[in-house]
Structures are given as C-alpha cells and as structure tokens.
C-alpha cells in the first residue's frame, strides 16, 4: 500500500538558469511528520519545495510523493506559497479564494458542487476563519491572509502540505495560532514540510529539522541538532555568531 503522506528525494540535482542550485539531495518524510527546511537566502529551500510539487524537474535523481511522481500526486499535495505571491487587491471573498484551491478537482469552466462547498467550509473552520467567509480579502490583516492561504491548500484535503515561509510578517499571536494549527494537522496524519527563516520557532515546532545549503547539510530532531559545526556550515557563520545561541548550539562551541 502506498504511503499517501510520503515524500522521497533520492540523489536529486536541480539546475535553474543553467546553474546548479541543488545537488545530491536525499530527503524523506512520512505520514504525520512536521519537517522544517532551514538555510540562508539562496540555499535552495523554495526550489526544493517546488521540486516536490513537480514544478521543477530535477536533472538527476528521483522524486516521489504519495508513492508516485509529483505530477501524478497533485490530488494529495497542498501548497501554501509566500504571502506576497498572491494578488490581495483582487476583488474576491475569503471563501472565493479558498474555493480556487479546488479548481483542478472541479475542472475548468465547471461550477463547484456540494462536496466542494463542504471542503471550503471545513477548511475555513479548521483555520478559524468561518466568520470572515464573505469578507473581501483586501480587508484582511497579514495573519488573516496567511490563514486564508492555508485554508485554500487544506480545501484539497491533502495528505502532504508544503508551506513556504508561513511565519513571515505575522505577529506573535498569529504565530502561536499557526503553530498550534500545524501541530494539530501533523497529529492527525498530514505530512508537513515548511521553509522558514524563524529558526527559534522551527526548533520548538518541528519534529525534524533539515539544514539546507544547496544540499542537505544535516537532518535530525531539534534535540539532537546541537552540533555548532553543522549550523556554521549551513549558514556560513562564525563560531561567535548569535545564530548558534538562538538554536541552542552556541554553548557547545567553546566546550
């Protein structure tokens, strides 16, 4: 039986614009995992997500999601892009945005059916946005917009949820709400992979942390990922960098 929550990248290399941006990537996740991809700007984190989505084709290696190729697994994958990628000035309601997540399920030029409306209702309830279903998205706060994007992805009822920088630009109460939501989805069996620049948040939220800089530098639980050398290698920082203390590795540098 296929593990619908599985992700497997084996010896993956990716070129963009003729340049090698990922090489020798080996990474896996399984049902209920909450995996954080951490690395500096330009490390290839978003490219890795796009490769899992099938939007980027590797030049070598294999990618399997839900037991098949990403392009065949689209029914099982939800994607939450960075918030700035959405046109928030478009005159559409919250429920309308969430319904767009089901476009491929509905089919082009077809009207949503009962199952589609139920999926949208359930997704909005999951992220706590039911009362704002008819609000125009341009009126929403940054945190509310982030919840709408997550609801749009959840409307497909995915077994795998990929999130690109979900904590960027949201206040602390929203961070806490999103953290609780992601942990709840993980506990119910959804596999989550997220990129984030919020290292501290990742270290207390994720089951596993993967340090990325064009390849996988380290992959372990937050508790075991305390060797300062791997953080220094991944982020290109010195032994005196505050980053090490932030992730709980600093105390080991001069031991």
| Closest-CA residue to 37 (of 237, 170, 217) | 217
CA dihedral 172, 143, 127, 115 (to 10 degrees): -170
Q: How confident is the model at residue 1 (pLDDT cuts 50, 70, 90)?
A: very low
Q: What is the pLDDT of residues 36-50, one digit of tens each?
A: 999 999 999 999 999
For residue 255, the model assigns a pLDDT of 39
For residue 252, the model assigns a pLDDT of 44
φ/ψ (deg, to 5) at 113? -100, -175
The whole-model pTM stands at: 0.92
Average pLDDT score, the chain: 92
Domains and CATH numbers, the chain: 7-224 (3.40.50.300), 225-255 (no CATH)
Decide: 78 and 154 in contact? Cβ < 8 Å.
yes
Q: What is the pLDDT of residues 165-185, one digit of tens each?
A: 998 888 888 889 899 999 999
Q: Helix 172-187 and helix 142-154: axis angle, to 10°?
A: 10
For residue 168, the model assigns a pLDDT of 86
CA dist 15 and 252 (Å) reads 36
| For residues 213-237, average pLDDT | 96
């Amino acid at each position: 039986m296929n593990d619908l929550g599985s992700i497997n990248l084996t010896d993956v290399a990716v070129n963009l614009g003729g340049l090698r941006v990922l090489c020798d990537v080996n990474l896996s996740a399984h049902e209920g995992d909450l995996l954080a991809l951490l690395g500096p700007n330009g490390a290839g984190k978003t490219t890795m997500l796009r490769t899992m989505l099938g939007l980027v084709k590797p030049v070598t290696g294999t990618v399997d999601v839900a037991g098949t190729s990403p392009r065949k697994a689209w029914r099982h994958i939800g994607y939450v892009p960075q918030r700035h990628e959405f046109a928030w000035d478009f005159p559409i309601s919250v429920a309308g945005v969430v319904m767009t997540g089901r476009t491929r399920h509905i089919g082009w030029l077809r009207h949503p059916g009962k199952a589609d409306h139920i999926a949208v209702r359930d997704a909005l309830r999951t992220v706590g946005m039911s009362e704002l279903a008819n609000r125009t998205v341009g009126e929403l706060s940054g945190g509310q917009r982030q919840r709408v994007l997550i609801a749009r992805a959840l409307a497909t009822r995915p077994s795998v949820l990929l999130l690109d920088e979900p904590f960027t630009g949201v206040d602390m109460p929203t961070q806490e709400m999103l953290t609780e939501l992601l942990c709840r989805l993980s506990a119910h069996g959804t596999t989550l992979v997220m990129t984030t620049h919020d290292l501290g948040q990742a270290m207390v939220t994720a089951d596993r942390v993967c340090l990325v800089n064009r390849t996988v530098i380290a992959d372990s639980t937050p508790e075991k990922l305390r060797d300062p050398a791997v953080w220094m290698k991944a982020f290109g920082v010195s032994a005196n960098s505050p980053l090490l203390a932030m992730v709980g590795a600093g105390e080991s540098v001069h031991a």
